[in-house]
Amino acid sequence: MAEDECMALDGLISNLLLPDPGQATVVVIEFDSIICPILSGFLSECERDECLQYRYVHDRVAAQTMRGLARLCGGVLTGIAPDQVRTIRDGSGRPGLIGVERSEYDFNVSRTRSCCAGVLSRGGRCGIDIEDVVAEEVSEELVGMLWASGDGLGKIEPCAEKYFRRWTQLESALKADGCGLGAGIEGIGDIPGLCWDDQKCRIDGKTWAIRPIRAPRGVVASCAVEDHWVSVVQVAQEEVESCIRTRSLCARDE
């Protein structure tokens, strides 16, 4: 990738995405954004080849963009160029930074058919989940299992948007906690001490604050952060795109 396309972590990007100590920032990127090719450019040739193994072009773009977003998150938090960031996945599959404790920095990413999302934190663990609202994937059985795992959720309503919103709330907390949901929705009953509503989730004695995320139409998203945190700041996709355009103009002027 050309140097003027690498989107080095200059002041514009860092100021947008770097959270204050004890806070988190969130960004949602649609797959038709000008950001996506730049994010995929952060990957190594081997990583891009892995993404190309997907059957459909759309899935290839989605995989590359989400991996690139993870690199960007790591670069913002550490000050390392994104293409030099090295990540590792833990036992639950969530990414982390090699040689960096999660108590100091943490990030998490998620993708769906139309966009991906990332959350960056300083001073605590975090998780994020984003889902397309697809009515055909919702059944009364799934709704019953999901609502039964919560606390104070009120009357069960088999509404697709409410179902996927509840799902993102729970999944983001499970990703922050690190236990994940590898067993599927059927495994919810095996999660120790699980109790949750649309604002907090308690897992095995630890409480996570759940925050809603703005997403494109037909998409819902939530993030979870440690309960003592006060705020989660969402950065608009347009703000990041503006930084890229500004940087590109400056590069051409040079």
Strand partners, 14: none
- On whether residue 248 sits in a domain, the answer given is no
- On whether residue 137 sits in a domain, the answer given is yes
pLDDT digits (tens, 9 = 90+) for 21-39: 989 999 999 999 999 998 9
Residue 25: strand, helix, or coil: strand
Interatomic CA distance for residues 89 and 98, integer angstroms: 9
Domain that holds residue 99: 3-241
pLDDT on residue 4: 44
- On whether residue 247 sits in a domain, the answer given is no
pLDDT-based confidence at 232, cuts 50/70/90?
A: very high
The domain total for the chain is 1
pLDDT on residue 130: 97
Phi, psi of 156 (to 5 degrees): -70, 125
- On whether residue 246 sits in a domain, the answer given is no
Cβ atoms 123, 101 nearer than 8 A: no
pLDDT digits (tens, 9 = 90+) for 90-148: 776 777 787 777 777 899 999 999 999 999 999 789 999 999 999 888 877 787 777 76
pLDDT on residue 195: 83
- On whether residue 40 sits in a domain, the answer given is yes
CATH of the domain at 37: 3.90.470.20
- On whether residue 253 sits in a domain, the answer given is no
Closest CA to 180 of 64, 71, 69, 95: 95
Whether 86 shows a pLDDT value over 90: the answer reads: no
Written as one letter, the residue type at 206 is K
